[in-house]
Amino acid sequence: MGDSIDYSSPYANYRSPLSTRYASKEMQYNFSDQKKFSTWRKLWINLAKAEKQLGLNIKAEQIQEMENNIYNINFEEAQQEEKLTRHDVMAHVHVFAKQCPLAAPIIHLGATSCFVGDNTDLIIIRDGLDLLMPRVATVIQNLAKFAEQYKTLPALGYTHLQPAQLTTVGKRATLWLYDFLMDERALSRARDDLRFRGVKGTTGTQASFMQLFEDSSKVRALDKLVAELSGFSKTYPVTGQTYTRKVDLEIVAALSSLGSSVHKMCSDLRLLANFKEIEEPFEASQIGSSAMPYKRNPMRSERCCALARHLISLFANAANTHSVQWLERTLDDSANKRLTLSEAFLSADAALMVLSNITQGLVVYPKVIEKRINQELPFMSAENLIMAMVKKGGDRQVCHEKIRVLSQEAGAQVKRFGKDNDLIERVRADPYFKPILAELDGLLDPSTYTGRAAEQVSEFLSEEVEPILLKYKESLKDSSNVVLNI
């Protein structure tokens, strides 16, 4: 094209929007090169400490030298080494060994690449879950407050997106809430089930460590000790060269399921925003449209849906990767795994941050909700009117036919002429209904059509939500309002 392009500029290279726009600094660091490669070094140190404790000739000075250089990583040199070796782990072994000449002979002793690769991934997964779970709890807390505040406010319910029996605004919020309680449970289970790969050797048989120790009990102890030094109480009992990619599948499944909850709730909010019943927070200086200044687009909810849709799609990657790991392992998991795990966590993190912002400032418009109820409630009141007339001595079949005819007439006014529903006015004007005219206002009170909705909200919050919030009591103390930069 003839243009002079400065490819060295960071703006001349692709940068993931998950990093530049959406995910938190904490989650970005969790998947950073600094975290990854410093964790490799910590694992080599833990391996050396365990091997020393179990009798191998490893000196304290060697371990100390490695500990002094955990974060002192020459990334440029490692990249140059990888170009020569075509092997990322050995490139970092060589660079670390140059920095630690005393320790060089014992770095990575007996280990395979998956010792640092897989174990680091498991640490990153664990730490990622520890970041996400309090974010889910924050959304649960925000929605719980919202449900409690609006548990008695009647609202038109919808099935098939058509007007149905009344519910309450708070009761509808509990439907979103319960999905997130299920997500918290799934993430907690995934976190509790997570184990360490440990030291298993090239095909999972621990043969190299048997060569070092010539003692099966010591090899087993080594596996346990390295796991404990790395913050895990258990290791996977059997592995091939890698831990089974079914673990990644379980993690991504839980995250994708969380994505479906986010998408469902935010889709509901987008519909309610169209009805003008509930809106997400809208800043004083926020612009809804470049062409239509009056618009208040639900852009946060739309962003959540976009991120959640990507998150949901990642499940297929994890499932397919696990399914094609031939025998003890193949390397076609590596590139896909780098993308899928990081993007699943970063997408979930980003969506939860936006959703936390949304749920801390939802705006409800009771008068709009009331107006919508009034448009539909006359039709829904038919059964109550019939029962009231029967109690006054009326004939059920005659009353039913009267209301049917009046309802058809009122419906025609609404659909053909765009007028308000005037069924009740027609009832008032018909002499047949004179016996119940004094009761009409009570028969049309929306609060009498919501059943046990308010009680269900109170029971649900007390019995199901409060125990979860208590579990995250300390992290919720530190949670503050989420402010989005973009």
Rounded to an integer, the average pLDDT of 402-426 is 86
User: pLDDT digit string (tens) for 173-196?
Assistant: 999 999 999 999 999 999 999 999
Cβ atoms of 238 and 269 closer than 8 Å: no
The CATH number given to 27-106 is: 1.10.275.10
- CA 400, 403, 408: angle at the middle one, nearest 5? 125
Note whether 265 and 182 are within 8 A (CB): no
Distance of alpha carbon 339 from alpha carbon 271, whole angstroms: 33
How high is the pLDDT of residue 484? 56
| Cβ–Cβ < 8 Å for 197, 239 | yes
Residue 234 has pLDDT above 90, yes or no: yes
Q: What is the mean pLDDT of the chain?
A: 90
List CB contacts of 463: < 8 A, sequence separation 6 or more.
none
Residues 6+ positions from 479 with CB-CB distance below 8 Å: 134, 138, 141, 356
Q: What is the pLDDT of residue 293?
A: 45
Q: Which two tokens stand for residue 275?
A: 């009805």
Q: Which residues contact 314 (CB under 8 A, 6 or more apart)?
A: 252, 255, 256, 340, 343, 344, 347
CATH number of 382-443: 1.10.40
- Residue 197: its pLDDT value, please? 95
pLDDT, tens digit, 9 for 90 and up, residues 298-312: 899 999 999 999 999
Six token digits for residue 315: 């499940």
Residues 245-292: pLDDT tens digits? 999 999 999 999 999 999 999 999 999 999 999 999 876 444 454 444
Q: Which residues are catalytic?
A: 160, 289
CA pair distance 332, 444, nearest whole angstrom: 65
**Which residues sit opposite 235 in a β-bridge?**
196
| Full-model pTM | 0.89
For residue range 79-106, what is the model confidence (pLDDT) as tens digits? 888 888 888 899 999 999 999 999 999 9
> What count of other Cβ atoms lies within 10 Å of the Cβ of residue 438?
8
3-state SS, the chain, equals: CCCCCCCCCHHHCCCCHHHHHHCCHHHHHHCCHHHHHHHHHHHHHHHHHHHHHCCCCCCHHHHHHHHCCCCCCCHHHHHHHHHHHCCHHHHHHHHHHHHCCCCHHHCCCCCCHHHHHHHHHHHHHHHHHHHHHHHHHHHHHHHHHHHHHCCCCEEEEEECCEEEEEEEHHHHHHHHHHHHHHHHHHHHHHHHHCCECCCCCCCCCCHHHHHHHCCHHHHHHHHHHHHHHCCCCCECCCCCCCCCCHHHHHHHHHHHHHHHHHHHHHHHHHHHHHHCCEECCCCCCCCCCCCCCCCCCCHHHHHHHHHHHHHHHHHHHHHHHHHCCCCCCCHHHHHHHHHHHHHHHHHHHHHHHHHHHHHCCCEECHHHHHHHHHHHHHHHCHHHHHHHHHHCCCCHHHHHHHHHHHHHHHHHHHHHHCCCCCHHHHHHHCHHHHHHHHHHHHHCCHHHHCCCHHHHHHHHHHHHHHHHHHHCHHHHHHCCCCCCCC
Task: Label residue 28 left, alpha or beta by phi (over 0 means left) and psi (-120 to 50 means alpha).
Answer: alpha
What percent of the chain stands above pLDDT 70? Answer: 95
pLDDT at 386 over 70: yes
Instruction: Give CA angle at 231 (342, 225), nearest 5°.
Output: 125
113-282+293-365+465-474 and 382-443 agree in CATH topology: no
Question: What residue segments make up the domains of the chain, in order of their start?
Answer: 27-106, 113-282+293-365+465-474, 382-443
Mean of pLDDT values over 353-368: 95
User: pLDDT confidence of 471, banded at 50, 70, 90?
Assistant: very high
CATH superfamily to which 113-282+293-365+465-474 belongs: Fumarase/aspartase (Central domain) (1.20.200.10)
Residue-wise pLDDT tens digits, 117-147:
999 999 999 999 999 999 999 999 999 999 9
Specify burial of residue 449 (Cβ count, 10 A radius: 0-12, 13-18, 19+). Answer: buried
Calculate mean pLDDT across residues 300-326.
94
